[in-house]
């Protein structure tokens, strides 16, 4: 366990700077001057385990899956909740999050983007170019929700039950470890994820999900058992599963639900969720999939009412 990770910094972009000022209980939020970001810092431990904050107020399942009504958060009614979009962790020399990649959700645009570009270059259609530009400017404000979690693993690409196609790899500045870009291979599914190793602790894999799956069950794959763990009726994607070639002991990685939201703002839930229905929705979602009997083995009874937030714990 590296010392650096004992303190966890959470960068988050807020659209409403009135939010999250009221902090206590071991967490602090420092507004940055000159921009509208905050650094969230917390030292926490549970039962002697170092806790790594996945930095999202939206649950793992919310992000991975379309079952969560997160769109209702984005309609501007609740600026505080909007803060969950575009969270960043400076676990690599350059922060994970970038505000740019956000158009994928619309009409599977990513599949056509390249062709569009080429066609425009061929035709020289200035008008359409401007239209696209204007459209992009509009879209820029819409940010795909992101969910970040860290996993201690020697394997870069953890099996999360979905099929992914790698579409790029980039060197991370000031880091010896590259960042890989993946897309869900299911047709018209806009979900992307990035994988990279922490330059601070190379044993840690940082996974960033962006967008939500628009299909209920993970695509069937050849040669694995993912489908067996995810019946069609299951509204929640399987949590990352250990692969055969994953050599670290399973006890190193424990995923538990997070005491949703509360610890971040000193127990003042109203800062993050103005509307009580929102919390109720989350709890209903939780019960919805606990009813499937699929989570009991994963979620310790100590966290009966929280959504799966995929905290990753490390013990040393």
Listed ranges 59-67, 75-83, 132-140, 265-273: which one lies at the site for DNA (CB under 7 A): 132-140
Q: Which of 7, 21, 32, 118 binds DNA (CB under 7 A)?
A: 118
Which CB atom, from 52 or from 181, has the smaller least distance to DNA?
181
Question: Nearest to residue 102, comparing CAs of 13, 218, 8, 38?
Answer: 13
Would you state the structure tokens that stand for residue 63, as one six-digit string? 């992000």
Beta-bridge partners for 308: none
Concatenated DSSP letters for 249-315?
-GGG-EEE---TTGGGGTT-GGGT-S-HHHHHHHHHHHHHHHTTT-STTTS-TT-TT-----EEEE-
Which CB atom, from 76 or from 223, has the smaller least distance to DNA?
223
d(CA 116, CA 56): 34
Q: Is 38 in the site for DNA (CB under 7 A)?
A: no
Q: Which of 11, 194, 197, 260 binds DNA (CB under 7 A)?
A: 194
Q: Is 188 in the site for DNA (CB under 7 A)?
A: no
Rounded least distance, CB 155 to DNA, Å: 12
Give the number of other Cβ atoms within 10 Å of residue 95's Cβ. 14
Would you state the structure tokens that stand for residue 227, as one six-digit string? 């489908």
Beta-bridge partners for 208: 148, 194
Q: Is 279 in the site for DNA (CB under 7 A)?
A: no
Q: Is 11 in the site for DNA (CB under 7 A)?
A: no
Binding mask 149-168 for DNA (x = CB under 7 A): --------x-----xxxxxx
Rounded least distance, CB 14 to DNA, Å: 15
Q: Which residues bind DNA (CB under 7 A)?
A: 35, 94, 97-101, 104, 109-111, 113-115, 117-118, 121, 133, 136-137, 140, 157, 163-170, 172-173, 179-182, 185, 192, 194
């Amino acid at each position: 366990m590296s010392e650096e990770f004992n303190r966890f910094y959470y960068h988050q972009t807020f659209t409403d700077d009135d939010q999250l000022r009221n902090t206590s209980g071991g967490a602090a939020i420092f507004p940055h001057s000159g921009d509208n970001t905050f650094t969230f810092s917390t030292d926490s431990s549970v039962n002697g385990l170092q806790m790594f904050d996945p930095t999202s107020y939206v649950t793992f399942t919310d992000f991975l899956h379309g079952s969560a009504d997160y769109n209702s958060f984005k309609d501007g009614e609740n600026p505080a909740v909007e803060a969950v979009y575009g969270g960043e962790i400076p676990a690599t020399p350059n922060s994970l999050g970038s505000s740019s990649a956000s158009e994928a959700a619309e009409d599977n645009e990513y599949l056509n983007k390249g062709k569009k570009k080429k066609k425009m270059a061929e035709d020289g259609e200035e008008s359409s170019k401007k239209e696209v530009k204007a459209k992009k400017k509009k879209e820029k404000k819409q940010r795909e929700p992101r969910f970040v979690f860290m996993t201690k693993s020697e394997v870069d690409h953890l099996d999360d039950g979905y099929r992914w196609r790698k579409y790029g790899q980039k060197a991370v500045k000031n880091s010896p470890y590259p960042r890989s870009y993946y897309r869900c291979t299911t047709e018209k599914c806009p979900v992307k994820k990035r994988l990279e190793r922490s330059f601070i602790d190379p044993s840690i894999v940082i996974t960033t999900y962006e967008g939500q799956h628009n299909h209920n069950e993970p695509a069937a794959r050849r040669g694995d058992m993912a489908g067996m763990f995810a019946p069609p009726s299951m509204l929640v994607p399987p949590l990352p599963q250990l692969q055969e070639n994953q050599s670290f002991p399973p006890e190193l990685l424990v995923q538990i639900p997070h005491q949703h939201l509360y610890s971040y703002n000193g127990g003042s839930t109203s800062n993050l969720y103005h509307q009580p229905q929102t919390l109720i929705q989350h709890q209903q979602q939780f019960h919805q999939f606990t009813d499937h009997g699929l989570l009991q083995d994963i979620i310790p009874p100590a966290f009966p009412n929280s959504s799966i937030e995929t905290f990753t714990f490390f013990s040393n």
